[in-house]
Amino acid sequence: MAGRHGSGEAPRGGNRERRRREPLGDRYEAALELACAQLAARPRSEAEIRRRLQRAEASPATVERVVLRLRELRYLDDAAFARARAESLARRGFGPRAIAAKLAEAGVRGEVARLGTSEGLPDDERALAGAALERRLRGRSFASLDRKDQLRLARWLAGRGFSPGAVRAACGGAGSFDPDSTEV
């Protein structure tokens, strides 16, 4: 296929079809290279690396060898991943419930997720919800909003994983706000 300028080359970006790559099987070096490329793009949990290697059809023994090597090199550490991910999500306005769900999606569960969340988040969920609401308001006053917009923001906070108490505290600083009320 000719390129845009008739050079005889295939156009950049190539064909949209995904080429079927050869299964990794027992090729340890190729599997390790793939895992390192994934980790170079962004931090990942052990479960995410395992899933990626399984999708590339690496043998179970190869997956284990790669994961062990990455742990030895300290490239894989679910506790550190959970802390960093929790901090990042909290900075972006997510609450503890949403953070726990996102860690579970990444394959980090149980005690590791609980510790990562508790170490990666401020102790005061109410303050975290208040800060998320302030960022969302961009300098506007919550009290100056009409009831419909106040309820919309309360639902937004709840959807970001904040408890009803934290939502109430963040919104209630503006007077007698009750997010449970459906009156507009």
Query: pLDDT digits over 35-66, tens only?
Result: 999 999 999 999 999 999 999 999 999 999 99
Residue 121 DSSP SS3: coil
pLDDT above 90 as % of the chain: 53
Residue 180 in any domain: the answer is no
Per the CB < 8 A criterion, the answer to whether 36 and 69 are in contact is no
Torsion 40-44-45-50 (CA) sign: negative
Cβ-based neighbour number of residue 59 at 10 Å: 17
Out of 44, 72, 100, a domain closes at: 72
- Residue 104 placed within a domain: yes
Tokens of 117: 């969340």
Residues 109 and 139 in one domain: no
**Is residue 62 located within the same domain as residue 88?**
no
- Give me the sign of the Cα torsion angle 145, 151, 157, 162: positive
Q: Which has more confidence, 74 or 114?
A: 74
> pTM for this structure?
0.72
Q: Could you give the number of structural domains in the chain?
A: 3
Host domain of residue 33: 28-72
- Dump pLDDT digits (tens) for 141-171: 898 899 999 999 999 999 999 999 999 999 8
Is 84 within a domain? yes
The distance in angstroms from the start CA to the end CA of the chain is 61
Judge whether 68 lies within some domain: yes
**Does residue 20 fall inside a structural domain?**
no
